[in-house]
């Protein structure tokens, strides 16, 4: 059947459904009821589902709280967004294009479920500062599966969701329990979303294992975030076919840098090595090469591999596993810049002066051969003068010191223009074979990690600037100016400590240099960690965009992600554009093609990055709770990292954070001052401030809530 005929049939069926729902005698029906009423054959029910979905997205139909279809009420003036539920009954609606989410009071949720696409109308009267709204219609449900713990109860069971965004249990009839027993971690498919009188219902489609089985805790988070673990067989087969050695034909038309001295510098356990660096110096000029794996040579546009990589958007690095964007056959094989093996690359060759300015550059397709696979630890040892390590890599030692020299210059140059460096310690969590956390400590940045960061930033800027001035379709990494209201609030708070930040008069904007100056002034002070955190919270989130609006945090006008095509789809996407431009194939048709697809690529990649970040945070929180379960009753010294009306957050040197609930502050009635973020005793005058060192005792840890409870140590009381 021709495509045109198929579309005509679909359009006629849409009209038929609209006419049916226009009828005065129409009673709202679920999808299955509609299929039976319209006598849709079983093999055509997938098409009916697709048609209903399209009608909802077009605003012609709505889904009621009980998953029944009705004709839209025509309230086009209503805003549409994604409902984000809260365990306490209220919620928020995220609307594209609005900087601030709308607050939905508990009484105005009107049956909306977490991640539903909803229509809302603004409320005229409100209590808080945030704009309030009510849900007036549920357009479509965004969540079809939920992960949780099964509890058997006689002739039925129920699933307690892992996510606190779903504040109700899900009822499961016995015949739909798939044999699950109490304590099983399960995936339940929702068959009804419930309403004010009825709980949601579902059927169990997968049993992950018992809650105490090794690895089930992380697997539950993986399933909860709907992270794709297995690759389709076609993608694996395609990866196997293309992952062959670099041939003579592959090398044709490429610059040959195989004799150039270059290294990879990564963590000890890294397996996907997608960037190599080379450096030499003549007189007062530095010649820096950043060589990135040419993944696009093996992942062709719109291939099975490409579609799967786009769907994933990014590799996800969890505490006990990596969920890669590309199959390991590629990411650890032919696309990895393994030592002593010919590899295809895209090279950014830059000439810099003594002030770190890029005087000239070239972007080229190349073939390379890495001399040595280095670890951050070994390079740092060399720079710190470790003789044994220097002897092992003696031929490369001069280049490492030259790298340190240039990186320091480049970093200082970036600092002068106002680039902001939030140096928060990330967590390094070491597990045993059963997934039990043995050690939690800050992940240390050293001279070697900074060298790679500095060189990758420089390459990303250079490539972005080149394609901006070419006026080519491209995917940029952007970071908008912070919201003025948040900056003014930050300014009010830091005034209590004797600091201030200057907003540009007339523009109502802050220059990144002001943030950088503030971070410099607080360095080494008791309030450093807290002011840094509050400053970070007043920043906007970086994202991918087809518009080059600049990067506030790096204080630069042009920035992109070019250096990690193995693990980030935007990098892979722009490599295709770069290669087409280098080969003179970026025709009008290809430009139109990229203009058509890139906005969705940027939007989807930003969403997938956010999902990965949230999953990584959840696994870290879980393992920190499991670690502190064994420390109950022990005393530690930490720093007050946050103060709220409900208590005091304390961060320990190992990056673990817990809460002293205000009810546990015995001996006095403590009041919270939201302007100064202080907790003060009404009778004793005892005051708790941000950045203050404090001794605590671990009093509890809940794996279910992923929360850690502290109380004041006896000597503090």
For residues 663-682, average pLDDT? 81
Relative to beta strand 342-352, strand 322-323 is unpaired
Which runs of E-coded beta strand occur in 55-200?
61-63, 69-71, 79-85, 91-94, 102-104, 117-122, 133-140, 145-153, 156-161, 170-173, 184-192
Residue-level pLDDT at 536: 84
Query: For residue 287, what are the β-bridge partners?
Result: 280, 351
On whether the CB atoms of residues 544 and 605 are closer than 8 A, the answer is yes
Output the pLDDT for position 62. Answer: 74
Q: Percent of the chain at pLDDT above 70? A: 94
Which superfamily is assigned to 79-140 in CATH? Nucleic acid-binding proteins (2.40.50.140)
Range with the poorest average pLDDT among 63-72, 150-159, 305-314, 419-428: 63-72
Mean pLDDT calculated for residue range 617-625: 95
Cβ atoms of 53 and 139 closer than 8 Å: no
| Range with lowest mean pLDDT among 12-16, 346-350, 427-431 | 12-16
Residue 262 has pLDDT above 60, yes or no: yes
Quote the CA–CA distance of 270 and 272 in Å, as a whole number: 6
pLDDT of residue 389: 96
Q: pLDDT confidence of 121, banded at 50, 70, 90? A: confident
Q: DSSP characters for 408-447? A: HHHHHHHHHHT-----PPEEEEEE-TTS-EEEEEEEPP-H
Q: What is the pTM of this model?
A: 0.84
pLDDT of residue 75 exceeding 80: no
Residues 6 or more apart whose CB falls under 8 angstroms from that of 261 comprise 278, 280, 371, 396, 399
Residue 332 has pLDDT above 60, yes or no: yes
pLDDT at 458 over 70: yes
CA-closest candidate to residue 266, choices 171, 348, 178, 337: 337
* Residue 65 pLDDT greater than 90, yes or no: no
Helix/strand/coil (H/E/C) assignment for every residue in 210-245: ECCCCCHHHHHHHHHCCCCCCCCHHHHHHHHHHCCC
Which DSSP symbol is given to 163? S
Residue 595 confidence (pLDDT) above 90:
yes
Residue with tokens 């630890």: 377
Helix (H) or strand (E) holding 660, with range, is strand 657-661
CATH 2.40.50.140, the chain: domain bounds: 79-140, 631-712
Could you give the percent of the chain with pLDDT greater than 90?
58
Which of the 8 DSSP states describes residue 334?
I
Instruction: Name the more confident of 701 and 535.
Output: 701
Domain 3-71 bears CATH identifier 1.20.950: no
Q: State yes or no: pLDDT of 27 exceeds 60.
A: yes
Nearest to 208 by CA among 194, 219, 195, 196: 219
- With the C-alpha atoms ordered 4, 10, 14, 20, is the resulting torsion angle positive or negative? positive
**DSSP state letter for 480:** P
Q: Is the pLDDT of residue 137 over 60?
A: yes
Of 16-20, 146-150, 258-262, 438-442, minimum mean pLDDT range: 16-20
Mean pLDDT of 534-561: 92
Mean pLDDT of 170-190: 94
Mean pLDDT (whole number) for 663-689: 82
Q: Which of the two residues, 460 and 424, has the higher pLDDT score?
A: 460
How high is the pLDDT of residue 500? 87
Mean pLDDT computed over 479-491: 85
- State the burial class of residue 650 (Cβ atoms within 10 Å of its Cβ: 0-12, 13-18, 19+): buried
Tell me the average pLDDT across 108-114.
88
Mean pLDDT, rounded, for 196-224:
91
> So what's the pLDDT on residue 3?
47
Query: Among 197-201, 260-264, 507-511, which stretch is predicted with the lowest mean pLDDT?
Result: 507-511
What are the helix (H) ranges across 418-522?
447-469, 484-495, 512-522
**Residue 2 pLDDT exceeds 70:** no
pLDDT tens-digit series, residues 362-406:
999 999 999 999 999 999 999 999 999 999 999 999 999 999 999
DSSP secondary structure string, 252-303? TTSEE-TTS--EEEE-TT-----EEEEEEEETTEEEEEEEEE-GGGTS-TTS
Query: Is the model's pLDDT at 74 over the cut of 60?
Result: no
Residue 117 contacts by C-beta under 8 Å, 6 or more apart in sequence?
Answer: 80, 81, 82, 83, 138, 139, 140, 141, 142
CA 193, 194, 199, 201 torsion: positive or negative? Answer: negative
* Intervals of CATH 1.10.10 along the chain: 3-71
Say how far apart CA 661 and CA 649 lie, in whole Å.
9
The alpha-carbon radius of gyration of the chain (Å, integer) is 28
CATH of domain 631-712: 2.40.50.140
- Is a pLDDT exceeding 80 seen at residue 614? yes
The CATH 2.40.50.700 portion of the chain extends over 145-213
Phi, psi for residue 592 in degrees, rounded to 5: -65, -40
pLDDT: is 439 or 682 the higher one?
439
- Average pLDDT over the chain, rounded to an integer: 89
CATH for 145-213, options being 3.90.650.10, 2.40.50.700, 3.10.20.30, 3.40.50.11540: 2.40.50.700
Tokens 């696994």 found at: 619
Q: Which CA distances in Å does 279 have to 401, 403, 451? A: 10, 7, 12
Task: Tell me how crowded residue 482 is: count the other CB atoms within 10 A of its CB.
Answer: 20
pLDDT of residue 195: 75
Q: Phi then psi for 131, rounded to 5 degrees?
A: -60, 130
């Amino acid at each position: 059947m021709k495509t045109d005929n198929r579309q005509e049939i679909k359009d006629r069926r849409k009209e038929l459904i609209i006419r049916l729902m226009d009828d005065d005698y129409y009673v709202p029906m679920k999808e299955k009821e509609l299929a039976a009423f319209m006598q849709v054959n079983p093999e055509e029910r997938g098409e009916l589902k697709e048609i209903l979905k399209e009608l909802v997205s077009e605003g012609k139909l709505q889904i009621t709280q009980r998953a029944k279809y009705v004709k839209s009420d025509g309230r086009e003036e209503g805003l549409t967004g994604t409902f984000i539920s809260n365990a306490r009954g209220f919620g928020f609606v995220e609307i594209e294009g609005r900087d601030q989410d709308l607050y939905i009071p508990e009484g105005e949720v009107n049956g909306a479920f977490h991640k539903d696409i909803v229509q809302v109308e603004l409320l005229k009267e409100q209590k808080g500062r945030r704009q309030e709204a009510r849900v007036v219609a549920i357009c479509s449900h965004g969540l079809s599966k939920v992960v949780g713990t099964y509890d058997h109860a006689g002739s039925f069971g129920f699933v307690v969701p892992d996510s606190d965004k779903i504040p109700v249990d899900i009822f499961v009839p016995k015949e739909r329990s798939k044999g699950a027993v109490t304590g099983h971690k399960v995936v339940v498919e929702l068959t009804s979303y419930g309403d004010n009188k009825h709980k949601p219902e579902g059927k169990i489609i997968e049993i992950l294992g018992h809650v105490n089985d090794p690895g089930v805790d992380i697997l539950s988070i993986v399933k909860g975030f709907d992270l794709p673990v297995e690759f389709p067989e076609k993608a694996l087969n395609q990866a196997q076919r293309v992952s062959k050695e670099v041939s003579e034909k592959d090398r044709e038309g490429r610059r040959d840098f195989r004799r150039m001295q270059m290294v990879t510098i990564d963590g000890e356990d890294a397996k996907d090595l997608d960037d190599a660096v080379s450096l030499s110096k003549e007189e007062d000029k530095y010649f820096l090469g950043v060589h990135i794996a040419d993944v696009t040579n093996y992942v062709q546009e719109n291939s099975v591999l490409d579609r799967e990589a786009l769907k994933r958007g990014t590799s996800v690095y969890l505490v006990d596993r990596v969920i890669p964007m590309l199959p390991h056959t590629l990411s650890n094989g032919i696309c990895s810049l393994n030592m002593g093996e010919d590899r295809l690359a895209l090279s950014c060759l830059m000439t810099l002066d003594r002030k770190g300015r890029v005087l000239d550059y070239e972007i080229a397709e190349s073939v390379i051969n890495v001399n040595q696979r280095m670890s951050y630890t070994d390079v740092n040892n060399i720079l710190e003068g470790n003789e044994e390590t220097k002897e092992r890599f003696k031929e490369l030692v001069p280049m490492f010191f030259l790298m340190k020299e240039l990186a320091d210059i480049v970093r200082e140059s970036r600092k002068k223009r106002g680039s902001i460096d939030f140096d928060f310690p990330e967590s390094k969590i070491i597990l045993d074979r059963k997934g039990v956390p043995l050690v939690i400590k800050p992940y240390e940045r050293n001279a070697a990690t900074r060298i790679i960061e500095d060189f990758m930033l420089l390459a990303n800027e250079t490539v972005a600037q080149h394609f901006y001035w070419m006026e080519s379709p491209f995917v940029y990494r952007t970071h908008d100016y912070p919201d003025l209201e948040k900056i003014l609030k930050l300014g009010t708070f830091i005034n209590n400590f004797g600091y201030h930040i200057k907003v540009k008069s007339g523009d109502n904007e802050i220059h990144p240099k002001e943030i950088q100056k503030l971070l410099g002034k607080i360095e080494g002070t008791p309030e450093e960690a807290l002011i840094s955190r509050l400053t970070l919270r007043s920043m906007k989130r970086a994202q991918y965009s087809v518009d080059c609006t600049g990067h506030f945090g790096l204080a630069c006008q042009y920035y992109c992600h070019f250096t990690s095509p193995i693990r980030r789809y935007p990098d892979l996407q722009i490599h295709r554009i770069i290669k087409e431009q280098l080969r003179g194939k970026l025709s009008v048709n290809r430009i139109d093609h990229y203009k058509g697809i890139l906005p969705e690529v940027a939007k989807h990649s930003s969403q997938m990055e956010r999902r990965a970040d949230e999953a990584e945070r959840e696994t870290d929180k879980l393992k920190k709770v499991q670690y502190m379960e064994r420390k109950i009753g022990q005393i530690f010294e930490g720093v007050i990292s946050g103060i709220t009306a409900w208590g005091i957050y304390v961060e320990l040197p190992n990056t673990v954070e817990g809460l002293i609930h205000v009810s546990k502050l015995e001996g006095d009635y403590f009041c919270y001052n939201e302007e100064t973020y202080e907790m003060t005793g009404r009778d004793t005058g005892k005051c708790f401030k941000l950045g203050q060192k404090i001794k605590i005792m671990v009093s509890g840890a809940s794996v279910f809530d992923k929360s850690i409870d502290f109380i004041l140590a006896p000597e503090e009381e």
